[in-house]
Structures are given as C-alpha cells and as structure tokens.
Structure 1
Amino acid sequence: MSKTKERAMPMGVPAQGQPAGPVAPPRVSARRRRPGLIALSLALIAAGGTGVVVLVLQAGHRTQVVTVTRDVQVGEVLTEADLGRASIALDPAVKAVTADELDSVVGKRAAVELRPGSLLAPSQVTSHQLIKADEQLVPVGLKPEQVPATALTPGQKVRLVHVPAQGEDTTTAKDPQTPESVPGRVVKAGKAAPGTGVVVVDVATTADDGPRLAAWVSAGNVRLVLDAPGGS
C-alpha cells in the first residue's frame, strides 16, 4: 500500500488485510446522585401517604348528633320524647346540636317548626317565650298577592296596616296622611292553603292592639308590611 493511501485512511480503522484489534467500550459518565433531591422525593411520597390517611380518617369519623323524632310546632317546649340521637359523618360547615348537648335543649322552645328525621340546629331552639305576658297572638290571613316575596320567619318585625273600605276614615289624629297601623312580630308563617293560596301568619302584638287588629282581620282590611331589620 502506498504512503498516500495510508494517509487517506481514517485513524483507528485497521488497514486492509490486517486483523482488527479489540474495541474499547464507550465511556459513560455516571450521573452524580444529589442527596437533596432524593430527600425531597421521599418527603413528597410521605406527605402524599399522610394525606390519604387523613382523608380516610375523616371519612370514617362520625359524630353523635341530636335529631327530631316527631313534629314540634313553633313555641312548643321540647321534651326528650321529641328528640333522638344519630351517628353521622358531619360536615364542619353544618351546625348541629351534638348528643352531649341534648340535656341543654330539653325544656327550650322550638323557634321554628321541627320535622321528624331532621337534624336539630342551635338556631332552631330558643329559651325565650315567643309570646310574652303582655302580648296577644293574632292570626292574619294573607292572599297570594299580599304575601311578601321575602320568606316570613319567626322573630321578624312587621307592621299591620289598616286598609279601610271605600269611604271609611283610616287616618290617625296625629298624622291625617298616615293610615292607622299597629306593630307586631311574626311567630309562625303557615303554608299556602291548597286552592286559595291563603297564608296564615301568627303575629304577636300588644294586648292593647290585639282586639283592634283582630277586628281589622275579620273585616279583611289589614295588610302586612315588613319592617327593616332592626326596626321596632
């Protein structure tokens, strides 16, 4: 072989007719392991496992709560026979009377109508009498067009306005331009009667205004007006 051909051949390639020598394996540089990265990975795995354990424990955690076992009307005193106990997985957002508080609600009055099978909430009972000693309870029937769109709830302050028949004088001596009215407080609002849609609202008012309001209701000349929150 001429010297020219020998120069043209790439280095490392055996010349024609010569035996090939051993080929060295390619060098692979080993990656350096980072202890910090390994520790972080282990921490994330542990945290994930802990989260699963917490979720499982929360799902299995049950709370003893107080339930209603029979119908209780607004203002009625709660007895042990009206209440029961149940064990449920309670969402923290749900406010319910716990079983260890049952004795504290017995003897209180229902602030709203209670139905069997429902949980008892703290806001559904009260230690105050819904009808005070100097008050009277007057049922007021409202036609569908007279029922406020805002739901009537116990404790709401209202004003009962006398709407007279044609030719009847309803102005007061203090203010001839203002119709006669009496203040009241909602004790209970019933459901609309089938067919007529009339809603009966029990209103507590003073003993002096009670008979007058009852006369207005009998004549069908009364309207219910909601007071602003905090109004008298």
Structure 2
Amino acid sequence: MSKIKERAATPASSGIPQPAQIAGPVAPPRVSARRRRPGVIALSLALIAAGGAGVSVLLFQVGDRTEVVTVIRDVEVGQVLTEQDLGKASVALDPAVNAVRADEMESVVGKRAAVELKSGSLLSPSQVTKDSLMKAGEQLVPIGLKPEQVPATALVPGQKVQLVHVPAQGVADPGREPDKAGPQSIAGRVVKASKAAPGTGVVVVDVATTAEAGPTAAAWVSADALRLVLDAPENN
C-alpha cells in the first residue's frame, strides 16, 4: 500500500501533462528617432514652390486666349469666301502666328481664296485676296507636267512663269523669228496647281495668258512641246 500511495503522489508518473509556464510581460522594441536632415527639407520646399509656379504660368497661358477665324469647310483656290465657310475659335495664339481675328471676319467675307483652304485650319490674311485670279482678257491654259518636269519649288497662285516651246528634235519652230536663236516663249501666271495624280505623278497647272497667246500655248501642250519655266521673284 505504501508503494501505491507513493506512485499516485508523484506527478510525473500520473501521465497528466504539466501546465505551461506563463511568460512575463514583453517590453516593446525601442525605436530610435529619425534624424532630421535640413538639406532634404529645403529641397522639398523648393520643389513644391517650383511646381506651384509652373502651375501658375500654365493657368495664365491657358487663360490668355484669342478669338480667331477658322476654316470650317474646304475652299478651292479662287473661290469666293462666304460666312458658311468660316467659323470662330478661342485659342492660345502664339505671337508669331498671323491669324485673322474674329472681329475682322466681315473683312474677309467676299474675298477669294489665294490658296487652297483646308477645314479645321486658322485663316491667315495672306490666304485671301480681293483680286480675281483671272483678269479681263486673259485665257486659262491647263498644262500637264510629268514628274520630271515639275519644279522642286512649290507652284503657288500668282507666280509668274514662262511657257517655252520645245519642239521635237529635228522639227523647226514655226513661231520663232529668224533673227532669234532661242525658243519661243509666252509669259503666264499660275492660277492653280493640282496635287500629283496617284500612279502617274502628273501635276496639272492652270496658267493664265493673254487672249492672243492662249491658243498658241494650247497647241504646244497638245503637241507635247511645251515646258514651264519659273520667273525669278520680283523682289529679288
């Protein structure tokens, strides 16, 4: 009996697990205070100030807008401008851009387009003219130029040209005077030049000439014996 009592009194021999030992309170980790850097703070303030100044300049530029005249549908060269061709828009206009102001729209209505006007573009004073592209007594001669005959300089309305007769090799020039060695030529003025035709690259140029020279120039074109030569600008 004494041995049985001794075994019962011994906790290790009972087979019952001992309760876990309760841990004490855990101290929080020490966090060292970050060292302030005056240079970083100054740089941050400078960046904030620069950003604010940039926004102010942008807002000022956006607010400084000008009402100008725009083209709202395509206009061919020589066509008279109407109110239906023009519109108005408020834009931030660069001082270098010469555009017609909105309050000047009436001054351009009724004038002719000196160049081809495209929808969505701003209207410039130099793009319109009060003069007719065809003068009284003139005739219009259409001339087809092959790619190798098209000048590298863009052909613009009003540009002065010479229509030179270049007969085929071995064929005499019936229009040339005996005492002149050079080929015969006719003075003309560009009224309109088309874009190069797809595939062939041919450019059609409408040239205004005098009524007397028109039929002769047309005959040269028909015989493929005409070349177009640009005159030097008058201000040179």
Normalised to the residue count of structure 1, the TM-score between the two structures is: 0.74
2:192 aligned with 1:192: no
2:119 to 116, 120, 139: 116
1:74 to 65, 72, 77: 77
2:110 aligned with 1:107: yes
Evaluate the alpha carbon distance shift between residue 86 and residue 174 of structure 1 in structure 2; reply closer, same or farther with a 3 A threshold: farther
Partner of 1:98: 101
Normalised to the residue count of structure 2, the TM-score between the two structures is: 0.73
| Aligned equivalents of 1:230, 1:119: Cα separation in 2 | 28
| Aligned equivalents of 1:71, 1:59: Cα separation in 2 | 29
Compare CA radii of gyration and give the structure with the larger one: 2
SS at match of 2:151: coil
Unaligned runs of 5+ in 2: 1-51
| Matched letter for residue 134 of structure 1 | G
What percentage of residue pairs aligned between the two structures are identical? Answer: 72
CA drift at 1:220: 1.1
| Aligned equivalents of 1:203, 1:218: Cα separation in 2 | 15
Evaluate the alpha carbon distance shift between residue 203 and residue 101 of structure 1 in structure 2; reply closer, same or farther with a 3 A threshold: same
The CA RMSD measured in Å over matched residues stands at: 1.9
1:125-182 CA-partner distances (Å, limit 9, x unpaired)? 0000100011111111000000011111111110000111233222621643110110
2:177 aligned with 1:173: yes
Moved over 3 A (4+): 49-56
| Matched letter for residue 191 of structure 1 | K
1:50-87 CA-partner distances (Å, limit 9, x unpaired)? 99866642332111111111111111100011111111
Partner of 1:42: none
SS at match of 1:140: strand
Partner of 1:219: 223
Please say which of residues 172-181 and 78-87 is displaced more in the overlay: 172-181
Unaligned runs of 5+ in 1: 1-48
Partner of 2:9: none
* Matched pairs, number: 183
